Copies of this chain bind each other. A is one copy, B any other.
């Protein structure tokens, strides 16, 4: 367990990288601290075949720190710095990457260890989740199992894909407020399966936002509003 290098960002924020040993594997992560440290935290789950510092994750982290909210991301199972040569540049083998990395159970342990690690240094704070697509394959189980998550931005995922059974089983155990994004013309995850997963969520307060467009074409206004949503619910 160690903090590695840090980088100054605009506006007085700082980006730190870290690496954890969890069981038999390493979990590489990144932590963004706003000026002043931040009295709230959001965990950022990246999408399939990407990694903890893919462009849109860094953009959301920047939007969060601009609101005084700290953010943290780790590489998901079989992804990012945990990827083996074998999978690189083979997005069609996403399911194999996920399974080779240990799937849902390993992923749950990784995120809980990372949250423990960050809390050990910075203390427990109101905490939320932001993650779409594979970010929901990770975030829905984490939100269901981890009472420290108070609000979640999920979506672009359905009762579909390599951990469909886990998502279906765990969705009713999600009880916190959720905003769930759907892309109406999603060519990766069938729309109907996304609507089904939204319907299964156990939250009393859950809202689905659907926009036209393909899987990765979430409108920028919806991303900005998703950060505002977490900001509002973590106050």
Contact = CB atoms under 8 A, between A and B. Distances in A.
Contact of A184 (B184, B199, B219, B222): B199
Contacts of A208: 182, 184, 208-211
Contacts of A147: none
Interface residues of A, number: 16
B199 A204 contact: no
Interface in A193-211: 195, 198-199, 204-211
Contact of A210 (B184, B205, B210, B211): B210
A211 B207 contact: yes
Contacts of A198: 184, 210
Interface centre among A198, A199, A211, A212, by most chain B C-beta atoms within 10 angstroms, is A212
A222 B229 CA distance: 13
Interface in A169-215: 182, 184, 195, 198-199, 204-212
A221 to B, nearest CB: 9
A211 B210 CA distance: 12
B207 A222 contact: yes
What secondary structure prevails in chain A residues at the interface with B? mixed
A222 B206 CA distance: 11
B210 A207 contact: yes
B222 A212 contact: no
A199 B185 CA distance: 10
Contacts of A222: 207
A207 B205 CA distance: 19
Contact of A206 (B204, B205, B207, B212): B212
Given A195-B195, A206-B211, 8 more contacts: A184-B198, A184-B199, A204-B212, A206-B212, A207-B209, A207-B210, A207-B222, A208-B208
Question: Which 3 A-B pairs give the minimum distances between C-beta atoms?
Answer: A208-B210, A207-B211, A209-B209
